[in-house]
Amino acid sequence: MNSSMPTYFISHGGGPWPYLPKMRAVFANLETSLRKMVEDLPEKPKAVLMISGHWEADDLQIMASEKPPMVYDYHGFPPETYEVVYPAPGAPGLAQKALTLLTAQGITAHLNTDQGFDHGTFTPMEIMYPDADVPVFQISLLRSYDPADHFAIGRALAPLRDEGVMIVGSGLSFHNLRMFGPAAKAPSEAFDAWLGQALEKPAEQRTAALLDWESAPYARVCHKQEDHLVPLFVALGAAESGKATRIYHDVGLMGGVTASSYRFD
């Protein structure tokens, strides 16, 4: 490994979108950004560590299976979307390394050999690495959603970047399932603008702004439950002094949503 991997916060789209042609067309800009994200890496990752908004636990869990199963954590989609398989190998050795790094910083964590890939992981990975030839493992969110705790998790995991691991926080910059459509336009635009401005700040001010994210305009409208925002804190904690670059931006998505993704390096 010749250079440290960047980290990312991605807006991962809706449900099993890569497997449904009409839905995939809606997320064409996201697909382009995910492909370019891979193209712009310094080299092929040794593994991808995903922090998805779809897995949370009381104590931090680390996926440690050699062959993770699938978790179809969506509802109301065609039967074939409950049969898709993303057959990437796991990374049990790196999971153990992550456990060591976390416990060294006083963070309680446990290996989990049962957890499978949720759609916050396998849908973007289907676009990024369609051959499933890069090992993938996940860590859970803490059910508390505490921003400072998740920044600390990212800081603890930062050394993995120097070992060729790409750390990706997978969520959505707007996630209010009851407000997709025109009603999302003003809140998502305002919150997205705040997020972009906050991420442009010097590192110390940026961290302070994100810790106080509930003061952002429409914060609790855009994230009534912040499971899809918290992955950002981990990704940023792992590259806390790095430059933030917006790599994806959509306006009017799903009838009104503004959404963005960022790279940190």
Give pLDDT, residue 176: 85
Tell me the C-alpha to C-alpha distance, in Å, between residue 26 and each of 19, 20, 32, 177, 255: 12, 10, 12, 17, 10
Residue 33: CA count within 13 A, CB half-sphere? 22
* DSSP string over 138-161: EEEEETT--HHHHHHHHHHHGGGG
Tell me whether residue 14 is in a domain. Answer: yes
CA angle, 88 as apex, 87 and 89 as ends, to 5°? 115
Residue-wise pLDDT for 48-69, tens only, equals: 999 999 999 999 999 999 999 9
Q: Exposed (0-12), middle (13-18) or buried (19+): which is 89, by Cβ within 10 Å?
A: middle
Residue 92 sits in a domain of what CATH number? 3.40.830.10
Residue-wise pLDDT for 103-121, tens only, equals: 999 999 999 999 999 999 9
Give pLDDT, residue 121: 98
Tell me whether residue 137 is in a domain. Answer: yes
Tell me whether residue 259 is in a domain. Answer: no
- The mean of the pLDDT values for the chain is 96
Tell me whether residue 92 is in a domain. Answer: yes
Tell me whether residue 245 is in a domain. Answer: yes
CB 66 within 8 A of CB 90: yes
Give pLDDT, residue 206: 96
Domains: count for the chain = 1
* Res 2 pLDDT > 90: no
Tell me whether residue 47 is in a domain. Answer: yes
Tell me whether residue 232 is in a domain. Answer: yes
Tell me whether residue 43 is in a domain. Answer: yes
Residue-wise pLDDT for 82-101, tens only, equals: 999 999 999 999 999 999 99
CB 53 within 8 A of CB 168: no
Domain range enclosing 143: 7-174+225-249
CB 94 within 8 A of CB 45: no
Place of tokens 């429409």: 218
Give pLDDT, residue 3: 73
Report the C-alpha gap between 202 and 214 in whole angstroms.
20
* Res 178 pLDDT > 90: no
Q: Exposed (0-12), middle (13-18) or buried (19+): which is 207, by Cβ within 10 Å?
A: buried
Nearest to 8 by CA among 55, 51, 60: 51
